[in-house]
Structures are given as C-alpha cells and as structure tokens.
Amino acid sequence: MSNKKAIPTQERLILALDVESVEKAKEMVSDLGSTVNFYKLGLQLFMSGRYFELLEWLRTREKKVFVDLKFFDVPQTVKSAVAQLKHRDAQFASVHGNDAILQAAVENKNGLKILAVTVLTSLDKKDLDDLGFKCDVEELVLSRAKRALQLGCDGVISSGLESSQLRSDLGDNFLIVTPGIRPVENKDDQKRTVDVKTAFKNGADYVVVGRPILQDKNPAKKAEAFQKEIFSIFSI
C-alpha cells in the first residue's frame, strides 16, 4: 500500500451526496453528523438548484467539498468555469477531456485540486469498444492518467481495478480518488467495482461511496462502519 500521504483518515471517505434536493442533502448531512467530513456534489444536485448555497453551507460546517461536475467543453469555457470556483473554498474539482481541456483547468485552478477523469467506473471493455476505443480499459486509464499528470493535474479519478498499475507506473506523487466502491458483488450500473480494502490496498488515497450509505436504513451507522474499516486499514 503506497498511499500513506498526510491525509486525515476520517477524510479518506468521500460521501457522494446524490440526492434530489438541497433540503434532502442538508437533512442527510445533519443525520450523518461527524461520521462524514468530505462530500461530493454532482450533477443531480447541480440541476436541482442552489448548488453553491449547499457548498457554502457545508463549508460553514467545516466539511470539505468535491465539485464533481466533470467539466467538459471547449478549453476557454472550462477555464472560465473553473475560475468560478475561486472563492468557493472547494477542495477538488473533476475535469474530463483532452489535453487542451485539462491544461485550461490547471491554468486557472487557484489552489483547487484538479482531478482528471480517466474512464468512468460504469464503463467496461464492451462499452469502450462501442465508443470506438479499441484498447483495454487499463491501457486507456494509464494513458489518460499519464497525460493528465504531465499537464499539472493533481490526481485522477480511477477504478480500484487500475490503481495498482497507476502506482506502479506513475509513482506516489499524485492523488487517486476511487469511486465504484461496493462491499459485495455488484448488480447496479457500476461495472468496475472494488471493496474498500482492495481500493486502498491498490493505492487509492480516497474512496467515494454513495448508494451503499445513502440507501441503507441507517446511513450514519453504515458510514461509521466504513470509517472503522478505513481506520483499521491505516492503523496497520
């Protein structure tokens, strides 16, 4: 395991706050209390309205925020979009696309950590074939990660299935954020999944967990169980 950066263990769990409204989000955050200190805000909440109100509400409660809007547009538009986060006090933002798009985001990050999307965890080899990428998933992830880091991105978003190879080939001096965390065999739209222990063993610095916590009958208890597992991993 090569991910022993100076990251507070409690913050290695990022909760994907994929709910339908800001009101529901605030209710969930309040219910989770101290069990979660880092939240990912995605497209569902963005489209519900009051996204930045929620971001500021979280920051006043000393929660950290990952703006997961996967910026993907012409470079100047991405550069301008990232600039809008300058005074929002978010920690991470995700960017998708080619070299020019990633470079535009990096040029205007102002202390924000830019995470490059490699290959969505909902895609497998067949999906890549359908999209015209005639290569293995791991090969594409490694290629995109290498280019992103050369351009100055702070890290990548990668399935736990590819992180071990990323660490082996590219080293430890970048962040790996791993979504698609599932504690058991998975049957939803996430195809390239791993459990928490495997994600960190393979080199992840953070894991993103959504439905396994949000859909549990007791989200706070479930989040606490994830945290206990993470603490046990990093206390070795």
Question: What number of other Cβ atoms are within 10 A of residue 36's Cβ?
Answer: 26
Instruction: Please check whether residue 52 is in contact with residue 25, taking contact to mean a CB–CB distance below 8 angstroms.
Output: no
Residue with tokens 């992180």: 163
How many angstroms separate the CA atoms of 45 and 24, rounded?
10
- Could you tell me which residues come within 8 angstroms of residue 201 by beta carbon, excluding any fewer than 6 positions away? 1, 233
How many angstroms separate the CA atoms of 109 and 92, rounded?
10
Q: What are phi and psi of 29, to 5 degrees?
A: -60, -45
Sequence-ordered strand ranges (E) for 47-195: 64-71, 92-95, 113-117, 155-157, 175-178
List the catalytic residue out of 70, 113, 125, 197. 70
- Could you tell me which residues come within 8 angstroms of residue 212 by beta carbon, excluding any fewer than 6 positions away? 181, 182, 183, 222, 226
Which of helix, strand or coil describes residue 217? coil
Q: Side chain identity at 25, as an amino acid letter?
A: A
70 catalytic per annotation:
yes
Residue of 1, 30, 43, 35 whose CA lies nearest to 15? 35
Instruction: Please check whether residue 211 is in contact with residue 188, taking contact to mean a CB–CB distance below 8 angstroms.
Output: yes
| Residues tagged active-site | 70
